[in-house]
Chain A
Amino acid sequence: MFAKRRCHFTHIFELFARYIYAVIAITVSIAFSFAGNIASNKELVDDVKEASGIVMSADGLAVLAVIGVLLLISLITLLYCAFRWRYTFVSAEENTLIYETGKFIKKRVAIPFEKINTIDMGRNIFERLVGTCRLKIDTGAYSNRQEKNNAEMNLVFSLAEADEIRSFILNRAELDSLAEEAESGKNAIAAKEPDWVIRTGVGDFVLYGLTSSSVWKLFWIVVAGVFFIGELAEGFLDQAFSYVMPYVEWTTNFISRTNTVLILLGMLLFFLISALISDIWTVIWAVIRFYDFRVAREGRNVIVRYGLITVKNYTLQVRNIHALIIKQNVFQQMLGRCSVEAVCMGFGDEKDETALLLPIIKTSNLNKLLGVILPEYVTEMNAHPKNRVGIYYHIVKPIIIWGAILAGGCVACSYISGVSALVNALAAVLFAAVIVSGVLSYKNTMLDWNDNVVSVQRGGFKKVAYRIRTDAVQEVQIKANIIKKQFGIGSYYVHFHGPTMNNTSVSGNISDKYFSELASAVED
Chain B
Amino acid sequence: MEFQRVDKKAKTKWRFSRIMALIFAVIPLAALVLFAFYSIGMDEGSETLMIIGWIIAGIIVLVQLLSIFIYPPIEYIQWAYMIAPDRIEIKKGIFYRTHTVIPISRIQHVAVTQGVLQRPFRLSTVQIHTAGSVMEIQELSTAVAEDICSRLQKRVNVKVEEKNAAEAMKQSGAESEV
Contacts and interface: CB of A to CB of B under 8 A. Distances in A.
A495 B99 CA distance: 13
Contacts, number: 68
Nearest to A478: B99
Given A495-B130, A497-B132, A503-B132, A477 B100 contact: yes
A523 B93 CA distance: 24
B60 interface: no
Contacts of A503: 132
Interface in A481-524: 481-482, 485, 490, 495-498, 501-504, 515, 519, 522-524
6 contacts: A473-B132, A475-B132, A481-B97, A485-B97, A504-B133, A519-B89
A140 to B, nearest CB: 11
A361 interface: no
Interface in B150-170: none
B24 interface: no
A502 B96 CA distance: 21
A474 interface: yes
Given A497-B131, A497-B132, 19 more contacts: A473-B106, A473-B132, A474-B130, A474-B131, A475-B100, A475-B106, A475-B130, A479-B99, A481-B95, A482-B95, A485-B97, A495-B130, A495-B132, A495-B133, A496-B132, A502-B132, A504-B132, A504-B133, A524-B103
B87 interface: yes
Given A474-B102, A481-B96, A519 B132 contact: no
Interface string B92-122: 0101111111110110000000000000000
A480 interface: yes
A476 interface: yes
A368 to B, nearest CB: 28
A177 to B, nearest CB: 16
Interface in B66-94: 86-87, 89, 93
B98 A475 contact: no
B96 A480 contact: yes
B133 A474 contact: yes
Nearest to A145: B134
Nearest 8 A-B pairs (CB), nearest first? A474-B132, A497-B131, A495-B132, A474-B130, A519-B101, A523-B103, A475-B102, A477-B100
Nearest to A496: B132
Nearest to A345: B131
B135 interface: yes
A510 to B, nearest CB: 13
A519 B99 CA distance: 11
A476 B101 contact: yes
B98 A479 contact: yes
Contacts of B105: 523-524
A375 to B, nearest CB: 18
Contacts of A515: 99, 101
Contact of B96 (A479, A498, A501): A479
Given A497-B131, A523-B105, A482 B97 contact: yes
Nearest to B86: A523
Contacts of B103: 475, 519, 522-524
Contacts of A522: 101, 103
Contacts of A524: 103, 105
- Most A Cβ at <10 Å: residue of B86, B98, B99, B130: B99
Interface of A: 473-482, 485, 490, 495-498, 501-504, 515, 519, 522-524
Contact of B133 (A475, A478, A481, A519): A475
A456 to B, nearest CB: 14
Contacts of B130: 474-475, 495, 497
- Most B Cβ at <10 Å: residue of A473, A479, A490, A523: A523
Contact of B101 (A475, A485, A496, A504): A475
Contacts of A485: 97
Contacts of A502: 132-133
A186 B93 CA distance: 62
Contacts of B89: 519
Nearest to A494: B132
A523 B105 CA distance: 7
A501 B99 contact: no
Interface in B17-60: none
A42 B101 CA distance: 78
Interface in B124-178: 130-133, 135
A507 to B, nearest CB: 15
B131 A519 contact: no
Contacts of B99: 477-479, 490, 515
B95 A475 contact: no
Contacts of B131: 474, 497
A480 B97 contact: yes
A501 B98 CA distance: 20
Contact of B97 (A475, A479, A496, A519): A479
B44 to A, nearest CB: 23
Nearest to B130: A474
B98 A477 contact: yes
A6 to B, nearest CB: 37
Contacts of A501: 132-133
- Most A Cβ at <10 Å: residue of B89, B101, B130, B135: B101
A474 B97 CA distance: 20
Nearest to A503: B132
A482 B133 CA distance: 25
Given A481-B95, A523-B87, A476 B133 contact: no
Nearest to A495: B132
Nearest to B107: A474
B174 to A, nearest CB: 15
B106 A474 contact: yes
B16 to A, nearest CB: 27
